[in-house]
A and B are shown apart, each in its own frame.
Chain A
Amino acid sequence: MIRLEGISFAYDPAHPVLDQVDFTLSAGERVALNGPNGAGKTTLLHLMVGLVRPRKGRVVAFGRERRTETDFVEVRSRAGLLFQDADDQLFCPTVAEDVAFGPLNQGKSRAEARAIVRQTLADLGLESLENRVTHKLSGGQRRLVSLAAVLAMRPEALLLDEPTNALDEATRARLLDILAGLPLAMVVVSHDREVLDRLATRSAWLEGGRLG
């Protein structure tokens, strides 16, 4: 689905983050991506959807090489990225509007978007939150709603950046159940042992700019 070929990347030329990295996410695969803090795990996810561009190497996603911002617009709607901090993701006043934001950007009509919102929230058991104000949600609710917002775009792959971080035990278990039940290809960045054991079909280790 997504392939990184010989990717090198640095935010600052003196400190390269990734050095000649190759990575492939295939359909049906759930890859656990791990490594020490600051190894570039988040950067790798961001490269896959074009939020940052490599200095060297190619990004091939859904059958085409992607270079420009316009190329990546389509990639982002087919590979949903869940951010580490849900506050970054939920910017609309209400939950319904936030979940509808992606579908509306994809060109869905209001009626379709509203139906998708209902369906997605119902799938995750979040119906009761539909008209709530996003900044008044609890941390766990925020995480689940931001996942709903990503799933509402009907992606084919999910890129999850520390999804279980700072969640209480109950919410964490609920999130894991949801993720385990999704038939999507995934890359999961996590230090959480159980996430790796329960979800991953294979794992990758990123350290010193290299994948192992």
Chain B
Amino acid sequence: MSPAASRDGGFDSASAGRPLMARLDPRTRVVLALAFSLTVVAVEHLAALVLALAAALVLAVLARLPWAATLRRMLALEGFMLVVLALLPFTVPGRMVAEPLGFAVSAEGLTQAAAIALRANAVAVALLALLGSMELVSLGRALGRLGAPERLVHLFLFTVRYVAVLDGEYRRLRLAMRARAFRPAAGPHCWRSVGYLFGMLMVRSLERAERIDAAMRCRGFTGRFHSLEDEAADRPGILDWGFGAASTAALALVAGLGLS
């Protein structure tokens, strides 16, 4: 595989006309995602968080995230947070600013709710832009090359590879149940059947793991993975350094605003 292809965020995508984000080394993106999240969690000031959200939106534009799909994902997050955010102004003690229907709304509560909303959205948008648009395999490799334990990386890559196979098995079993008129309902028959379904899934996964191990041994596997990638030749380019510098400056500004 040529370095250009391995650098590529997705193995299937063509190299022409790709967004800036996809041309970055996956490692740059992982490091940046980590730095961004830590900074945003550390800062308190609303102004800094607004700036962070703006930075995240810039990242989203650079990654050319599809707007509709991204909004849908974000809505799922907002729905989850809504209850907490709506309750905070009423539950955090502090200076009272309003009293609708006899419930006291505190200024501190409002600030906290705003801070949580900004922080969650900034991190979510940034992660979607930096990591969400990346092929999972690239993410696993980037983690490995950044020094994540080899076993965990292999576990991650095997999971990526086989989660679809297991899902396929689950669907086939479910379909077979439905084909025999099984309908989920509260009751011992349903619970027992679902128990069998998951039991069978475990057994099959175990058998599958044994077959994969056998197939690997058939091809000479003795416990050590050799990589086809020539990793030394594949170094971060000018683009990565430039992007890293710009991001560091932006994060320093966020941190400066937020911690002062």
Query: Nearest chain-B residue to A80 (Cβ)?
Result: B218
Taking a contact as CB atoms under 8 Å apart, the answer to whether A102 and B220 are in contact is yes
B31 to chain A, nearest CB (A): 21
Prevailing SS type, chain B contact patch: helix
Q: Are A110 and B220 in contact (CB under 8 A)?
A: no
Contact B158 A91 (CB under 8 A): yes
Which residues does chain A contribute within 8 Å of B165, judged by CB atoms? 87, 135
Task: Check B219–A149 contact: CB distance below 8 A.
Answer: yes
User: Known: A73-B220, A133-B135. Is A93-B161 also a contact (CB below 8 A)?
Assistant: yes
Indicate if B259 sits at the interface (CB-CB under 8 A).
no
- Cβ contact within 8 Å between B1 and A96: yes
| B211: contacting residue among A85, A92, A131, A133, CB under 8 A | A85
Query: A136 — which chain B residues lie within 8 A by C-beta?
Result: 12
A147 beta carbon closer than 8 Å to chain B: no
Q: Find chain B residues with CB under 8 A from A149 CB.
A: 219
Residues of B within 8 A of A117 (CB): 228
B1 with A83: CB separation less than 8 A: no
> Which B175-231 residues have C-beta < 8 A from chain A?
208, 211-212, 214-222, 226-230
A34 sits at the interface (CB 8 A): no
Given A88-B212, A93-B160: A131 touches B220 (CB 8 Å cut-off): no
Q: Does B157 contact A (CB under 8 A)?
A: yes
Q: A76-B220, A77-B220 are in contact. Are A110 and B230 (CB under 8 A)?
A: yes
Question: Chain A residues with Cβ under 8 A from B140's Cβ?
Answer: 93
Shortest CB-to-CB span from B2 to chain A, Å, is 9
A49 within 8 A of partner (CB): yes
- Are B160 and A104 in contact, CB atoms less than 8 angstroms apart? no
Which A residues lie within 8 Å of B214 (CB)? 46, 51, 83, 88
